[in-house]
Amino acid sequence: MRVSVIGCGYLGAVHAACMAENGHEVVGVDVDPARIERLAAGRAPFVEPGLPELLATHVGSGRLRFTTRMEDAADAEVHFLGVGTPQRADGAAADLSYLEAAVRSLIDAVAERPGTRPLVVGKSTVPVGTARQVGERLRARGMTLLWNPEFLREGRAVQDTLAPDRLVYGVLEPGQQDEAVAILDAVYARQLADGTPRIVTGAETSELVKVAANSFLATKISFINAMAELCDRTGADVTVLADAIGIDERIGRKFLHAGIGFGGGCLPKDIRAFMARAGELGASDSLSFLREIDLINARARQHAADRVSRALEGVLTGRTIAVLGAAFKPLSDDIRDSPALAVANKLALRGATVRVTDPAAMDHVRREFPVLRAVDDVEEAVRGADLVFLGTEWPQFVQLDPVATRELVAQPIVVDGRNALDPRTWRDAGWEYIGTGRP
């Protein structure tokens, strides 16, 4: 099939490459010429395992193209909307201006081709009610809309797109859009043949599925971070607590890793946009708990900075701290709302010299955080440091040799912001090990 993907950020670029892998003729559209130039050369504009290989194969074969001109995509049978919906600069709600611009330019491009009646498929995370509004405008132009939220995780985006947990199709008029559903089934023939569950529901439900899923995940993380606060007060161990409650399959062990909390381009802004939308709908009370989730998350960062400060007897001026990790999670170069950098900044503001290193995100750190000293490797970061802080659990940091690292530092104190290091090995090597919610 001829498919377009409008918006080539984390979601769109991966989706375009995976749709080419599915066997379709794909054109990716984005307004950013630098991004398009990179993608058109078969190079990934961000770190994402598996993406470079897919781009090389399918851009190489000509099955996957990239353009800044919507006209070049106008003959597609299916258009995916994959633009970003970040938090608005002036509040908690989602900024829908990119979506608005994409829809307008799609309508104009399709109007130039009388007789074309493409299917439009929304993938962006949007406030509930958006799909119906967009769908009605498109219907007036002879186009049909389905909402098909995306659940990919950064760092596993290719895998999550090629083999998703589920496919959700939101239709504006349930029972009356069988043709559109059949077209989307053809786009995802490979995933459906692999047995991926497919849920066809109303547009509003599909929009809510996405924000409900992310709210639940954020709640799980803040729940365990709240338990970590109690563990810190009582001498209990949150990692054992998480193991013990996680054995109950109704609870599950995943997303119960206590530490410096969640960050990135999705969970923080999605829970805030959800609360803002609930307010507009007169249902603020229903989601008031999410405000608490956000506050616990902010406290997790604050408590980590306090822990570092206490370990250095409250004096950070003149001290050197090595922060290992800048990305909001491993296997990504994304530093949006990164917990590691939030802690690093707090320490710098309290007067410490903060050296940061990360295997993937250093270019972004250099550009956006001039107050931090960006260094290229762990050795440079830890040499002469008064304290080492683990901010992102990259495997190469988790596997650091505490014996060799001890030789490099001024003081062997490690604060583990992710509870990812083995306390016993570090203590045996002579370190003062300070975890999160662990005695």
Choosing from 30, 48, 154, 333, the residue that interacts with ligand UDX (CB under 6 A) is 154
Does residue number 127 form part of the binding site for ligand UDX (CB under 6 A)?
no
Q: Measure the N-to-C terminal CA separation of the chain; round to a whole number of Å.
A: 58
Residues 38, 46 contacting (CB under 8 angstroms):
no
Instruction: Using CB under 6 A, count the residues that bind ligand UDX.
Output: 21
Taking the complex as a whole, how short is the minimal distance between the CB of residue 318 and ligand UDX, in angstroms? 31
The token pair at 20 is 């080419």
The Cβ of residue 85 has, within 10 Å, a number of other Cβ atoms equal to: 22
Give the binding range for ligand UDX (CB under 6 A) out of 80-88, 146-154, 350-358, 365-373: 146-154
Residues 27, 73 contacting (CB under 8 angstroms):
yes
Q: Which is nearer to ligand UDX, 262 or 369 (CB)?
A: 262
State the binding string over 222-261 for ligand UDX (x if CB under 6 A, else -).
---------------------------------xxx-x-x
Does residue number 217 form part of the binding site for ligand UDX (CB under 6 A)?
yes
Q: Please say if 266 is a catalytic residue.
A: yes
Tell me how far apart the alpha carbons of residues 384 and 63 are, in angstroms, rounded to a whole number. Answer: 52
Choosing from 18, 187, 221, 308, the residue that interacts with ligand UDX (CB under 6 A) is 221
Choosing from 14, 119, 152, 348, the residue that interacts with ligand UDX (CB under 6 A) is 152
Tell me how far apart the alpha carbons of residues 14 and 242 are, in angstroms, rounded to a whole number. Answer: 33
Does residue number 267 form part of the binding site for ligand UDX (CB under 6 A)?
yes
The token pair at 256 is 């119960």
Taking the complex as a whole, how short is the minimal distance between the CB of residue 37 and ligand UDX, in angstroms? 26
Does residue number 273 form part of the binding site for ligand UDX (CB under 6 A)?
no
Give the binding range for ligand UDX (CB under 6 A) out of 45-53, 71-79, 145-153, 362-370: 145-153
Does residue number 151 form part of the binding site for ligand UDX (CB under 6 A)?
yes
Choosing from 171, 227, 266, 296, the residue that interacts with ligand UDX (CB under 6 A) is 266
Does residue number 427 form part of the binding site for ligand UDX (CB under 6 A)?
no
Sign of dihedral through CA atoms 89, 125, 292, 253? Answer: negative
Burial 314-348 (b: 16+ CB within 10 A, else e): eebeebbbbbbbbbbbbbbbbbbbbbbbbbbbbbb
Give the binding range for ligand UDX (CB under 6 A) out of 112-120, 151-159, 168-176, 192-200: 151-159
Q: Which helix (H) or strand (E) holds 175?
A: none
Residues 135, 145 contacting (CB under 8 angstroms):
yes
- Helix pair angle (130-139, 203-234), 10° resolution: 160
Tell me how far apart the alpha carbons of residues 344 and 128 are, in angstroms, rounded to a whole number. Answer: 36
**3-state SS assignment for residue 31:** coil
Please give the single-letter amino acid code of residue 109: A
Q: Which is nearer to ligand UDX, 261 or 412 (CB)?
A: 261
Choosing from 301, 329, 364, 373, the residue that interacts with ligand UDX (CB under 6 A) is 329
Catalytic residue among 8, 18, 231, 266: 266
Contact positions toward ligand UDX, by CB under 6 A?
150-154, 214, 217, 221, 255-257, 259, 261-264, 266-267, 328-329, 339
Positions annotated as catalytic residues are: 266
